[in-house]
Amino acid sequence: MRSITCSRCGAVAPRGESLEYRGSDYCGRCGDDLRGEADEGPEAFHPLVDPTVCAFCGADGGDSEHAAAAGLPACPACAERLYRAPLPRWVRGFLAAVAAVLVVCTALNLPYYRAWLSIRRAGPALAAGEHERAAAFMGAASAALPDNRELEGVAALYAGLSLAAKGEEREALARFRTYLSLNPADQAARFQALSLESAVAFEDGDYRTFYRLQTEILAGDPADPMRRLAKASAAACLWAAYGEAERRAEAEATVAAVLAGLPAGDREAAAAAGEYARRIRFRIDTREIIDRDEYYRRHPEEASK
């Protein structure tokens, strides 16, 4: 945990509980006092973020900074929980740290109170899987503080999650790009954006772009069996659409290697990989490119496997 020395009272205070005003750092109490005395509006006061403390679980990294996830410092465990599951399952209480920053101003400024209240509502909505309501609350929080770039980014992220949950990948991708323009270092969100872009390429029949994006996604974790199968699926598209025999060989070899290399006893992993492999082999054998829903419409007996 990092600390600051208050420029007003000289006390040492945690950085994450302090504010910056006119280039100087102040503890929370002195920051509140200055707000009542200053001529400037609340936008002149900037909450400080401690990059060594996880914004989600409070894990103290000591002198080591946590990587950013959704614009906030996150320990490895929290960062994995945030982005590990396929869209749209996300960690509960994601915006608690942002709410803690805004609550300092709630009693003094109505827009801050409205933003804080919306953020408090967004967390439970997200935890309940109500992505559209969570996005609406975050949009309201951002609208209450239109100059707050952090809130603008998180609102875009939540809108992207809501749209992705409804299967609107193209619109979701636009929101993720807005978020990443404000938070370019968030590699987990960048992976999600690549996944959405890949889905859009598949939908558009742009199979070369689909293959390129799946290659880029796989480079982030070359050992991940589902990412390997996703690239095999893209390779099968190039065989089916353009007759590229080397891509057929790649797809067949990858499917065989993934199924052979699955950990013994992991029934869930075996079922997921087997389901994906069957659809890839259908594409290879028939040279017909259909999505998952159409595959099971034609093969309802497969749905129960």
Residue 104 sits in the same domain as residue 180: yes
Question: What would the two tokens of residue 168 be?
Answer: 């609107």
Cα torsion through 101, 180, 148, 171, rounded to 10 = -110
Strand pairing partners for 193? none
Q: Is residue 28 part of a domain?
A: no
pLDDT at 72: 66
Q: Residue 254 above 80 pLDDT? A: yes
Q: Is residue 69 part of a domain?
A: no
What region, left, alpha or beta, does residue 287 occupy, with left being phi > 0 and alpha being psi -120 to 50 degrees?
left
Q: Residue 297 above 70 pLDDT? A: yes
Residue of 64, 117, 66, 123 whose CA lies nearest to 93: 123
What are the phi and psi torsion angles at 226 (to 5°)?
A: -70, -35
Residue range 111-120: mean pLDDT, rounded: 76
Question: What would the two tokens of residue 91 be?
Answer: 């960690």
Residues contacting residue 268 through CB under 8 Å, at least 6 positions apart: none
Point out the domain boundary residue: 143, 172, 198: 198
Q: Is residue 11 part of a domain?
A: no
- Separation between Cα atoms, residue 189 and residue 187, nearest integer Å: 5
Q: Residue 159 above 90 pLDDT? A: yes
Residue range 72-76: mean pLDDT, rounded: 72
Q: Which of 40-44, 75-79, 291-295 has the highest mean pLDDT?
A: 291-295
Residue of 276, 76, 89, 94 whose CA lies nearest to 192: 89
Residue 100 sits in the same domain as residue 179: yes
Domain of 164 in residue numbering reads as 83-198
How many folded domains does the chain comprise? 2
